[in-house]
Amino acid sequence: MLRWAVIFFVVAIIAAVFGFGGIAGAATEIARILFFIFVILFAVSLIMRMIKR
Q: What is the pLDDT along the chain (53 residues), one digit of tens a residue?
A: 789 999 999 999 999 999 999 999 999 999 999 999 999 999 999 999 999 87
CA atoms within 13 A on the CB side of 44: 6
Q: Would you list the domain boundaries of the chain? A: 2-52
User: Which pairs with CB-CB distance under 8 Å and at least 24 residues apart come from 32-36?
Assistant: 32/5, 34/1, 34/2, 34/4, 34/5, 34/8, 35/2, 35/5
